[in-house]
Structure 1
Amino acid sequence: MFADMYPSANGRPSMPPQVLAAAITLQALHGLSDFETVQELRCDLRWKAACGLGLHDTAFDSSLLAYFRRRLARSARPNRVFEAVREVVRATGVLKGRHRRALDSTVLDDAVATQDTVTQLVSAVRAVIREVPGAGEVAAVQCTAHDYTDPGKPRIAWNDRQARADLVDALVGDALRLLGHLPDRQLGEKAANAVGLLALVAGQDVEPADDSDGRDGRWRITRGTAPDRIVSVVDPESRHVHKTRTRRQDGYKAHLAVEPETVIYTDVELTPGSGPEHHEANVACDLLADEAGPVDAFGDTAYSTGTARQALEQAGHTLFVKPVAQRPAVAGGFVLDDFRIDGLGGTATCPAGHTVPLSPDRGPGLARTANFGRHCTGCPLRESCTTSKTGKSLRIKPGYDLQREARRQAADPAWQNAYRRWRPPVERAVAWLVGHGNRRLRYRGTIKNNAWLHTRAAALNLRTLINLGLTHNGTTWQIRAAV
């Protein structure tokens, strides 16, 4: 199972990899540190038995766990522990005939502290000086805003607004001069990453000052937040995450697909917390890609984009995904579904019976518009339709027909009963996943944390199988019949 991780023929690993794999699985289940895991292996007979150690074995140094996780995460099959447990699930037949899957996501907090703009700039400059050959000599001449050999923050009056503005301007100037005077040479991976990170940090939080500030030609903190902003140079893949309008976290998103009767994780995936490619709707198809056949997919409105619906339906899945509610422009007034939209004919008809042309189809992913402006003058339904002085206008996004059909289906009591029955169990799976302090991640970067997420899901699946009566009959795995 682990032979590809140890290709060298020069001896064997100091500790059998199956022992380490069992140890990190138990570690992920109980949420322990490396030191605590080794202590359990040394002192708890249950852990010794589970990992295949003898009574008098003294385990190993805790650093070996980090070494093994690094090998596993960088291997061709970083999720092999989860895949092995999934094979056990299939062998038991516990999911046979269960064709429902509930989808959801949750935010996992990153393992580092969020850094402000000044800290990120200083840290990024230090990284370039440390990783790029010759950068230290350039920095000694070009970087004058701060002593970058000093481990602390710049010494200024932090309650002085003008002093903070001057410091930001000077640090950005240092970063740009350093980037502009670096030696022209081929860089290794670490050096190239350090240079790219400095360039990104130097531009994401600042903008040129305008004349109204009296600071023309200088830099200031930008008014607003840059999309996909890096929150820490220690973990550049961590992001600001808005799970709701009022709840903001820094970290990653864990995406889950769960069988709602047994609460077995059929697939999981960890992505950075922001960015359109990491949205729930774009991950849904990947979570269901390994299913043997079509399933009934249950999800909230995050999975209700036109693109996601089209992709899932093309894969043969039946959707029980809560549609996005429509908001009328006037309280109690008309919504988009009250208009007749003919995409093929290229027309839109309002509740008053006026028909106008849709704008030309400009390609996939682009919305079409319809403007009723002149027809709204003197219309008796105007007060229930729009508050715009220029009249009603519509914006029809791609996939509108699918969304409209989804809203029609969601009004069916049978659909609502199925959604209320099979969607909520995924919340239990989320609670299990983040329980016992596992909301906060222990590692940095998507690769390591994704490997941890799969290992924890595998451990939770094993626990569920054991509670259901998992046993081996000498040939295969099976669930013991209830007494």
Structure 2
Amino acid sequence: MMGERSAQDKLFAADHIYLDFVGRETLYGYLAQHRGRLFRDEDFAILYCRNNGRPSVPPSLAVSILFLRAYDNVSFVEAIERTKYDLRWKVALGLEMEDVPIQKSALQEFQARLVLHEQGESLLKKSIDEARRAGYVTTRKIRVALDTTPTLGKGAVKDTYNLLADGVEKLACRLAEVAGEAIASWAEKEGLQRYFGSSLKGEAAIDWDDKAQRDQLLTEIVKDGRRLLSLAEQARHEHPEHDEAIQADAALLERLIRQDVEEKPGGGCQIKQGTEKDRLISVHDPEMRHGRKSASKTFNGHKTAVAVDMESQLICGVEVLAGNAGDQQQALELVHQAERVMEAQVEETVGDCAYGGGPTRKAFADEQRLLTAKVPASHNGDCFPKTAFAIDLDRMEVRCPAGQITTTYKSSGQNRAGHFVFADATCQACPLRSQCVGGQGPRSINIQHEERLQQQARSYNQTEVGKKSLRERVVVEHGIARLVRL
């Protein structure tokens, strides 16, 4: 159950004695003076059982410690030490000098409760409310800028052999637990003991330069995995109370085999060529993905999507995306979150060209929202790009750089999705053909479902207002730079 902090301060609390010494204008002094308003125990009642269990550390105290931990960028161990020995923390938290307020495990458990109960937005809103109280936020109509930054995952990224071994180990541990046996004895009984050594690959006595031997080891691992899946299916029927947990671990192993392994024509297994788009890369953090922030910069983990109020430069929205997700995913959800947190209407959303695709523009247009973002550039090798052609959707015609016009339109779907095609004879005789047509046929121009929206965006981006908004997008990069230092 939830422990609560006494409304009556301690007589010898550090903030009564050392507040001026630490400084009223410091963050520690600010927290000391306003912590009762900023963090209240009742705000976190949802995290606890109301009438059962031992009283917890007051959540107002625990969240204050997490706040200081982020501000000073220290580990959980160091945070606990500072609650004991750092005068600034004693003042900020209202502790007496001999107080030991919390243990590391309790602080980590409280943070996990915040995450599991999705309390991040409520804490973000509380910080914005405080900023409004202090005069940093003064309007109920705002403009926000969006961007993403890589967030490295904590799970170990391994090759196919060790990744499959991790999947086998995880499911084996689950089945041993369900059977009420020690994992060592259960694994030995089932002939799976090699998966519980220091490293499957390190202990495999094979020539790693020999593909046949590598494939033989992979075949053995897959065979063990499939046998384990059969045992899991049997355990689900025998222990229905554990069905969900067994199924989750079995599905994980099954996916690992499916994504990385293929059958050889003559029997046996080999590693698949290429990489699946949504490949799972860690058993211990299954949501991690291979991500790419640019053509040359890759990472393993997730993406953090951020919304920043362009006037106050305060972060007003945060979402977590898969590492391989497009930056524009959940862009509208981020805007909705910004409106809830800021208690304001978002009048304009600004992003880079990742947010400028047709589907994203349509989603914003459907909600009658202004989205300012560069239209992704079109490329056509050494030939004229699509933007070199004048597309008139009202008259349904396209004019090429040589001045030729086509009205021949071939639809490939609804909402005018399709392409315009120039006459073959026209293209064959054109003096600009070598700069326009790469192949044998005539030039064609693809038309998106959202072509009109893209045309409007290009025109708006060339106005002084549009150019100004695109320049001001840099505030989100500043916000991310501050965020990643936490």
Q: Normalising by structure 2, what TM-score?
A: 0.79
Partners of 1:269 and 1:419 in 2: CA distance: 22
Among 74, 77, 89, which residue is 2:131 paired with? 89
| Cα distance change of structure 1 residues 348 and 179 upon mapping to structure 2, 3 Å threshold | farther
> Is the 8 Å Cα contact of residues 304 and 324 (structure 1) preserved in structure 2?
yes
1:66 aligns to what? 108
Query: 1:369 aligns to what SS in structure 2?
Result: strand
Offset of residue 414 of structure 1? 4.2
**Conserved? CA contact 1:269–1:287, under 8 Å:** yes
Offset from partner CA, 1:84-107 (integer Å, 9 cap, x none): 222223434422237221111100
Q: What is the Cα deviation at residue 12 of structure 1?
A: 5.5
* Preserved contact between residue 348 and residue 372 of structure 2 (Cα < 8 Å): yes
Please list the CA deviations of residues 48-102 of structure 1 after superposition, one character each: whole Å capped at 9, or x if unmatched.
2222322321222111111111222222645432232222234344222372211
In structure 1, what is the equivalent of residue 315 of structure 2?
A: 265
8 A contact 2:406–2:420 mirrored in 1: no
Match of 1:274 in 2: 324
Give the secondary-structure state (helix, strand or coil) at the position aligned to 2:405. coil
Letter in 2 for 1:170: E
Aligned match of 2:160:
117
User: What whole-Å deviation, never above 9, does each CA across 1:171-193 have from its counterpart, x for those lacking one?
Assistant: 12222233245305234333221
- For 2:70 and 2:90, locate their aligned partners in 1 and report how far apart those are by CA, in whole Å: 16
Rounded Cα–Cα distance in structure 1 between residues aligned with 2:299 and 2:94: 40
Does the Cα contact within 8 Å between 2:143 and 2:348 map onto a contact in 1? Answer: yes
Matches within 5 A, 1:147-166: 147-154=194-201, 155-157=204-206, 159-162=208-211, 163-166=213-216
Q: Aligned partners of 1:431 and 1:63: how far apart in 2? A: 30
Equivalent residue, structure 2, for 1:34 = 76
What code does the residue aligned with 2:146 have? L
- CA deviations on 1:403-451 (whole Å, 9 max, x unpaired) are 122122222344223422x11122211111112xx5xxxxxxxxxxxxx
Q: What's the offset of the Cα at 1:237?
A: 0.6
C-alpha distance in structure 1 between counterparts of 2:275 and 2:358, whole Å: 28
2:96 equivalent to 1:47: no
Query: Is 1:5 aligned to 2:55, yes or no?
Result: no
**For 2:56, what is the secondary structure of its paired residue?**
coil
**Alignment match, 1:378:** 429
Counterpart of 1:306, as a letter, is G
Q: Deviations over 1:244-289 (max 9, x none)?
A: 11110001111111123432111111222124xxx32222111111
Please list every run of 5 or more consecutive structure 2 residues that lacks an aligned counterpart in the other structure: 1-42
Is 1:176 aligned with 2:231?
A: no
Pair 373,193 (structure 1): closer, same or farther in 2 beyond 3 Å:
farther
What is the deviation of 1:396? Answer: 2.4
Structure 1 regions of 5+ residues with no counterpart? Answer: 211-215, 439-483
Distance 1:327 1:125, change over 3 A: same
Q: 270, 287, 309: which one pairs with 1:237?
A: 287
Query: For residue 261 of structure 2, what is the aligned residue in structure 1?
Result: 206
1:335 pairs with 2:420: no
* Counterpart for residue 307 of structure 1: 359
- Greater helix fraction, Structure 1 or Structure 2: 2
Shift of 1:372: 3.8
Q: Counterparts of 1:131 and 1:42 in 2: how far apart (Å)?
A: 40
Equivalent position of 2:98 in the other structure: 56
Higher relative contact order (CA 8 A, sep 6+): 1
Q: Residue 334 of structure 1: CA displacement?
A: 4.6
Larger Rg: 2
Q: Structure 1 residue 362: deviation in Å?
A: 4.4
2:332 maps to which of 264, 274, 285: 285
The one of 245, 248, 251 equivalent to 1:196 is 251
Between 297-306 and 370-379, the greater mean CA deviation after superposition: 370-379
Return the alpha-carbon distance in structure 1 between the equivalents of residues 227 and 86 of structure 2: 58
2:378 pairs with 1:326: yes
Q: Cα RMSD between the aligned structures?
A: 2.8
2:457 matched residue in structure 1: 406
- Opposite residue 379 of structure 1, the aligned amino acid is C
**Percent identity of the aligned residues?**
28
Q: Which residue of 2 aligns with 1:473?
A: none
Q: Quick one: structure 1 residues 396 and 35, their matched pair in 2 at CA, closer, same or farther if it must change by over 3 Å? A: same
Cα distance between partner residues in 1 of 2:269 and 2:199: 23
Letter in 2 for 1:112: G
User: Could you tell me which of 407, 414, 417 is aligned with 2:468?
Assistant: 417
For these two proteins, the number of residue pairs brought into alignment is 422
Alpha-carbon separation, structure 2, partners of 1:367 and 1:175: 46
Q: CA–CA distance in 2 between the matches of 1:386 and 1:164? A: 48
